[in-house]
Copies of this chain bind each other. A is one copy, B any other.
């Protein structure tokens, strides 16, 4: 699976969030792309996303939407002849997701909280875009108040972000387990023997936990079936 991340930020070099995510995105089959050409090279941009299976728009939320540069990219690159399903639909069946960074706590984005509207409401224009182009909409990945995060929180963020870019499919817990085990095995291969053994123990534990969870789910399903008779 190939992933393309279109990054929109007025000053990426000065954004600690974007620099952190850029390092985390340095994975096989992930392309980190900051459209900066003026004017944009439309055929090159179209070729890039035509080649992707998962397309990610990544941006800080400015006035409840992406910065103007992403809208300019949409207005220019997503031409009717390129991507409308009725005329060939270059993006049909691909996935579309958003990575949104927030200066406010994520909890502020709900009815009754300071921002009043949820991110699911505010991202409706992108959901409509996915619908129109025949793409599958992914749950958004939210990074809130990166500057206040502890080192441990940042490590969780790094792994979750890598999963968001590369785990396939994205939504099931069992796929998350498989992704984690594959990732640990890949890391293990680059380590000295002693560390490989330790990582092996972690993998065994994860696999064992996953098996236990699966057994518990089976038991739960049986109990439910009985209760519904």
Contacts and interface: CB of A to CB of B under 8 A. Distances in A.
Interface stretch (A19-27, A118-126, A142-150, A213-221): A118-126
Interface of A: 10, 62-69, 71-72, 74-75, 78, 115-117, 121-122, 124-129, 131-132
Nearest to A115: B128
A45 to B, nearest CB: 15
Contacts of A74: 62-63, 68
B64 A75 contact: no
Contacts of A117: 124, 127-128, 131
A104 to B, nearest CB: 11
Contact of A125 (B64, B127, B128): B64
A64 B116 contact: no
23 contacts: A10-B75, A62-B71, A63-B74, A63-B75, A63-B78, A64-B126, A64-B128, A64-B129, A65-B65, A67-B75, A68-B68, A68-B72, A68-B75, A71-B71, A115-B128, A115-B131, A115-B132, A117-B127, A117-B128, A121-B121, A122-B125, A122-B128, A125-B125
A156 to B, nearest CB: 28
A124 B121 contact: yes
A225 to B, nearest CB: 35
A193 B89 CA distance: 62
B63 A67 contact: no
A116 B129 contact: no
Contact of A63 (B69, B115, B129): B129
Contacts of A122: 124-125, 128
A77 to B, nearest CB: 10
Contacts of A62: 71, 74-75
Contacts of A115: 128, 131-132
